[in-house]
Amino acid sequence: MSHFDLNHKNKLTLVKMMHSILVADKKEDAKEWQYFDYVCKELGLRREDIIGVEKSEIPPMEKDRMAMFYYLLFLTKIDQQLDAEEELRIHEFALKLGFNELMAQDFIELMKAHLDGPVAIEDMIAVIKKYMN
């Protein structure tokens, strides 16, 4: 994850957001938890590090916020389902990260269209370009 720079509080925020999405659908999925654990390890964190973390800290750099958002989006599609509760969380976190609600919806639709396979980088960039100021 060296392609973006998060401080410790930003990392905790990302992991806390991911955990919120993990439990949103009230279904246990081993692949989702594996991805969660992988991201935690890459960030130098453990699952239990988010216990008691109340305040979120959002990084100031847009590239870092977008990288966080990508991790959240990819988590939603790992189980090849994207349910209404996960969608609500994605919208909530998109706003917290400073992104347009319509852009979040376009990304959700993109994830839904590729639940069973990879999402082309070009498709993701096209969504971003659509909303650039």
pLDDT band with cut points at 50, 70 and 90 for residue 103: very high
Residue 27 has what pLDDT?
A: 86
pLDDT in tens, 32-44: 999 999 999 999 9
CB 55 within 8 A of CB 2: no
- The domain 8-131: what is its CATH number? 1.10.3680
Q: How far apart are CA 12 and CA 121, in angstroms?
A: 26
In angstroms, the Cα distances linking 80 to 32, 38, 41, 114, 128 are 10, 18, 23, 9, 23
Question: What percentage of the chain reaches a pLDDT higher than 90?
Answer: 83
